[in-house]
Chain A
């Protein structure tokens, strides 16, 4: 299956270098466009401001990697009332459908209800293991496609 659009969910604990490298490799293989998504809580302004900046920093780091690799990328920052598993999963489902992506990628520390996600979007989901120590461990054939 050729992937035209890939959604990368970038959560705060994600290893940016690893998820960026894997996503870019996959995008290059498929000549796909990447949508990089972060989510922050709709909380009190002082906290939101700090989280907002950190989230943008992660997104722009990935954008820069994608740019250097010649990959098309769009950045998305969404706010949630509560950053719980249910809301995060639902937002990921909604955005997957809205942008009609062909695959979803996230780091294994993300609080996502995988069964619900897969049941709803019916697309390949790549979960990057937090146990991976280096980019060389992230060859496609070593990853589990759910």
Chain B
């Protein structure tokens, strides 16, 4: 099982997302997966992402959101990290906006790996020190270093 730090796209960290609305932010991050050819069918992937967003809140509270989808349109499991300075409304149960956004994409047949990735990332992001550090890092490489330190 790969570590979170091995799955996050280190070269594609977005320290300041351009959009402020949930779906627009997800599309902004998903575009990276499309550009890197990790997502091979954008429409199918967006459909899976949007269906989930319509059914549940992927904002897990404490300023964190983990939009995610498992789809045959995904070649390999990957995470794109984006940070929003203003915060994005992911309908978190705690009512707080999300500042740290981790988009997870996984192939349809990787259910176990997908669930473990969600669990490990959620665990990591419950650590307030990790969240605080991710909120203040200035360089993309620091994101990976922070994840390595806390995972």
Q: Does B148 contact A (CB under 8 A)?
A: no
Tell me the complex Cα distance, A64–B123, Å.
18
Interface residue A118 (Cβ < 8 Å from any Cβ of B): no
**In the complex, per-residue mask of B76-120: 1 if CB is within 8 Å of any chain A CB, else 0:** 000000000000000001000000000000000001001110111
* Assembled-state Cα–Cα distance A56/B125 (Å): 12
A interface majority secondary structure: helix
Indicate if the CB atoms of B115 and A64 lie closer than 8 Å.
yes
Whether a CB of chain A sits under 8 angstroms from the CB of B60 is yes
In the complex, whether B122 has a CB less than 8 A from a CB of chain A is yes
- The one of A56, A66, A70, A71 that contacts B119, using a Cβ cutoff of 8 Å: A56
Q: Indicate if the CB atoms of B55 and A72 lie closer than 8 Å.
A: yes
Q: How far is the CA of A61 from the CA of B126 in the complex (A)?
A: 19
**Contact partners of A70 in chain B: CB under 8 A:** 55
A67 and B56 alpha carbons, distance in the complex (Å): 8
- Residues of A within 8 Å of B56, CB to CB, are 63, 66-67, 72-75
Residue tally, chain B, CB below 8 Å to A: 18
Structural contact, A52 and B126, CB atoms closer than 8 A: yes
CA distance in complex: A61, B117 (Å): 12
Partner of B93, one of A52, A71, A74: A74
Smallest Cβ-Cβ distance to A54: which chain B residue: B119
> 1/0 per residue B44-60: CB within 8 Å of A?
00000001100111001
Smallest distance from the beta carbon of A4 to chain B beta carbons, Å? Answer: 15
* Chain B 31-75 interface 0/1 with A at a Cβ cutoff of 8 Å (1 = within): 000000000000000000001100111001000000000100000
- A49 CA to B126 CA in the complex, in Å? 9
Determine the chain A residues whose CB is within 8 A of the CB of B57 once the complex forms: 74
Is B55 in contact with A57, judged by CB distance below 8 angstroms?
no
Give complex CA distance A72, B6 in Å: 31
Shortest Cβ gap from B121 to chain A (Å): 9
Could you list which residues of chain A lie within 8 angstroms of chain B, going by C-beta atoms? Answer: 49, 52-54, 56-57, 59-61, 63-64, 66-67, 70-77
Sample of 14 A–B contacts (CB below 8 Å)? A52-B122, A53-B120, A57-B119, A60-B118, A64-B111, A64-B114, A66-B55, A66-B56, A67-B51, A67-B52, A67-B55, A67-B56, A71-B55, A77-B126
